[in-house]
Amino acid sequence: MSSSQEELLQELGKKARVIRSDIIRMVAEAGSGHPGGSLSAVEIVTTLYFHVMRIRPEEPDWPDRDRFVLSKGHAAPLLYAVLAERGYFPAEELLTLRKLGSRLQGHPAFGKLPGVEASTGSLGQGLSISLGIALAGKIDRRDYRVYALLGDGENEEGQVWEAAMAAAHYGVDNLTAVLDYNGLQIDGPVADVLSPLPLPEKWRSFGWEVREVDGHSFEELLAAFEWAKEVHGRPSMIIAKTVKGKGVSFMENAVDWHGKAPDREQAAKALAELEAVTS
Amino acid sequence: MKIATRDAYGRALVELGKEYPNLVVLDADLAKSTKTADFARVFPDRFFDMGIAEQNMMGTAAGLALAGKIPCASTFAVFATGRAFDQIRNTIAYPGLNVKIIATHAGITVGEDGASHQSIEDIALMRALPNMTVIVPADAVETGKAVAAAVAHEGPVYIRLGRPAVPVLFDENYRFRLGRAEILRRGPDAAIFATGIMVSEALKAAETLSGRGLDVTVVNVHTIKPLDVETVSGLAEKTGAVVTAEEHSIIGGLGSAVAEVLAERCPVPLVRVGIRDRFGESGKPGELLEAFGLTASHIVEAVDRVRQRRVCGKK
């Protein structure tokens, strides 16, 4: 590994730790929200915003920017933390999450907060939106790329497969979806609730190029995003195996932490754990 | 002369396609029926057939709008507003995106296909959404102008069009003003607020009533939302008797919208001509309009009934 790659991995690791702490603080302060699925995708979204995506946080409407659509909109705390750390808005504002008058709505709302590319939260819709943005890029011959983050349970929504079919039909190779495969949804393991498995085979059969990675490995994620740029004529899907609640021992793989806020004591414990990793 | 509003839509799209390079059109496997195929022939690179997948079509339209396009998404009204309601709500109306949902085959005049294809609640659904503009043109001329106005307007718009050929009421000099109810005929004895294909029926009813010595006002309410509240309440006050007429359920459509204004601003007797809380059925469009009480003679009866309940003005 080159020294610059080494530095990049360290830098991304540092950002991820800050973002995890931000998520805990935000959700604890709000008293509600979705920590589990926010924590599972930290490395994915951090990699995108701090290395992969061509963006100008100071010019959020730059027409040639790469776009990120959070289809699993309940991971809004993650998106907001990343946007704030990337400089789209002041980090102090993170603690207004879910409060009356805040730009940080419970689920991402387009037009309020710089950097939020679409209104999401009703599951299954972000891939269609991403497809539309990707098609517009093709029409206009702009070379931006569109990234969509989906949950694994979200694959149970029929619209996801409508979008999957259409994206392959129109050959939008400027579209890359990432699937946060943490294996859990509100009612239990995805395999038990209403199995969308096997995922790679399904996506391949719908005409997508598919790559499976460890969703907490920056190295694998970076390589996968590079791979996706080289896919031509069809959309690409990165299935990222993750751990729900990653980084906080008592939240990891615990379905109860899908949509529950830690109380003061739990938040302190979580932050101490995250701090311990840092030092 | 009779022309279907959907035919006028197809022609309007081709013209607007020349004027607006960023106009794109989506359809859900009904391009020949909705007439978006006219646009597809001239601008194949800006037309997307999204297949029988209305939810994805609306989401894709939202994405295109986010990237600066003006998407017109078309299918039958029942699928556009029903099948894809949540997509319209969350990805188009909530963020206020510049998507035009232009639906054809609305109402019972779909005819033989029956209730599964006859939207009787689409106005209600679209009207309930914040940010949404709702337009129901009365004829082919108005359709062309309404579509142009919708494309020029920034924000989400729903336009409701029909399947059968309907009488042409306006000439090319007609000026379409978004959000303005157009008074087509003035008279003190009652006010008929009509929308869509019921405008021509209302005009016929006014002729019949005129033969009996009653002069009624006829208003074309092409924009259901935002409703021209001033015109509605002003004419209600002047006439003291109001009839609404629409090819839609009396629940949630024009009748409801007018009732809301009257109740809050000028309570006068009201009779709603519309589909009376029931589903449609198969039949020829003309037969269905008769069977469901949506003709000029039903409007005449409604005027008579509402005038009997009138408390102010002359009896």
Band (pLDDT 50/70/90 cuts) for residue A279 is low
- Using CA atoms of B59, B21, B32, B34 in order, give the dihedral in degrees to the nearest 10: 60
In this complex, the residue of A118, A134, A166 whose CB is nearest that of residue B91 is A118
Distance CA B247, CA A123 (A): 34
User: In this structure, what token pair is assigned to residue B301?
Assistant: 């009866």
Three-state helix/strand/coil letters over A73-120: HHHHHHHHHHHHHCCCCCHHHHHHCCCCCCCCCCCCCCCCCCCCCCCC
Distance CA A101, CA A90 (A): 16
Establish if B21 touches chain A: CB-CB under 8 angstroms: no
Q: What is the pLDDT of residues B147-161, one digit of tens each?
A: 999 999 999 999 999
Distance CA B255, CA B195 (A): 10
Is A10's pLDDT higher than 50?
yes
In this complex, the residue of A110, A111, A132 whose CB is nearest that of residue B60 is A132
| Secondary structure (3-state) at A30 | helix
The pLDDT value given to residue A261: 97
Contact criterion met (CB < 8 Å) for B95 and A159: no
Specify whether the CB–CB gap between B187 and B162 falls below 8 A: no
The answer for residues whose C-beta is within 8 angstroms of residue B224's C-beta and 6 or more apart is B123, B127, B134, B135, B136, B195, B253, B254, B257
Is B312's pLDDT higher than 80?
no
CA atoms within 13 Å, Cβ hemisphere of B265: 17
Q: Checking DSSP bridges between strand B182-185 and strand B217-220, what pairing results, if any? A: antiparallel
Distance CA A230, CA A239 (A): 17
Q: What is the pLDDT of residues A46-105, one digit of tens each?
A: 999 999 999 999 999 999 999 999 999 999 999 999 999 999 999 999 999 999 999 999
| Secondary structure (3-state) at B295 | coil
Distance CA B281, CA B288 (A): 8
Catalytic annotation on B301?
Answer: no
Band (pLDDT 50/70/90 cuts) for residue A3 is confident
Per-residue pLDDT, averaged over B236-253, amounts to: 98
Handedness of CA A58, A61, A66, A67 (dihedral sign): positive
Q: What is the pLDDT of residues B9-20, one digit of tens each?
A: 999 999 999 999
In this complex, the residue of A111, A133, A166 whose CB is nearest that of residue B56 is A166
Which of A62, A112, A117, A125 best probes binding to B when mutated, by most B CB atoms within 10 angstroms?
A125
Partners of residue A158 in chain B, C-beta under 8 Å: 55
* Equal fold, B2-167 vs B182-308: yes
Angle at the Cα of A67 from the Cα atoms of B101 and A221, rounded to 5 degrees: 135
Q: Where are the domains of chain A?
A: 3-278
The pLDDT value given to residue A277: 82
Which of A64, A113, A125, A129 best probes binding to B when mutated, by most B CB atoms within 10 angstroms?
A129
Handedness of CA A170, A171, A176, A180 (dihedral sign): positive
Q: Considering only CB atoms, which residues of chain A are within 8 Å of chain B? A: 63, 109-111, 117-122, 124-137, 139-140, 158-159, 162-163, 165-166, 169-170
Length of chain B in terms of residues written: 315
Nearest chain B residue (CA) to A67: B67
Band (pLDDT 50/70/90 cuts) for residue B314 is very low
CATH superfamily membership of B2-167: Thiamin diphosphate (ThDP)-binding fold, Pyr/PP domains (3.40.50.970)
Contact criterion met (CB < 8 Å) for B60 and A140: no
Per-residue pLDDT, averaged over A138-161, amounts to: 98
CA A227 to chain centre: 18
Distance CA A132, CA B14 (A): 21
Q: What is the pLDDT of residues A245-255, one digit of tens each?
A: 999 999 999 99
Q: What is the pLDDT of residues A107-124, one digit of tens each?
A: 999 999 999 999 999 999
Backbone angles phi, psi at B313, to 5 degrees: 70, -175
Eight-class DSSP state of B92 = I
> Closest approach of chain B CAs to the CA of A51, in angstroms?
23
Residue found by looking up tokens 């589990």 in the block: A36
Distance CA A252, CA A237 (A): 25
CA A25 to chain centre: 19
Of B15, B54, B112, B121, which one is the catalytic site residue? B54
- Using CA atoms of A212, A217, A219, A221 in order, give the dihedral in degrees to the nearest 10: 50
Calculate the average pLDDT of chain A: 97
The pLDDT value given to residue A9: 97
Q: How many helices (H) and strands (E) does chain A have?
A: 10, 7
Q: What is the pLDDT of residues B96-112, one digit of tens each?
A: 999 999 999 999 999 99
pTM > 0.95: yes
Q: What is the pLDDT of residues B55-106, one digit of tens each?
A: 999 999 999 999 999 999 999 999 999 999 999 999 999 999 999 999 999 9
Supply the CATH classification number for the domain B182-308: 3.40.50.920
The pLDDT value given to residue A215: 98
Supply the CATH classification number for the domain A3-278: 3.40.50.970
Calculate the average pLDDT of chain B: 97
Contacts of residues B207-215 at CB distance under 8 Å and 24 or more positions apart, as own/partner, are B208/B296, B208/B297, B208/B300, B209/B300, B209/B303, B214/B187, B214/B189, B214/B190, B214/B303, B214/B307, B215/B186, B215/B187, B215/B188, B215/B189
The answer for residues whose C-beta is within 8 angstroms of residue A147's C-beta and 6 or more apart is A48, A52, A53, A66, A67, A68, A69, A130, A176, A177, A178
The pLDDT value given to residue B315: 44
Per-residue pLDDT, averaged over B170-189, amounts to: 97
The pLDDT value given to residue B283: 98
Residue A185, CA distances (Å) to A88, A253, A257, A258, B51 in order: 30, 10, 10, 7, 30
Give, for B251, the enclosing helix (H) or strand (E).
none
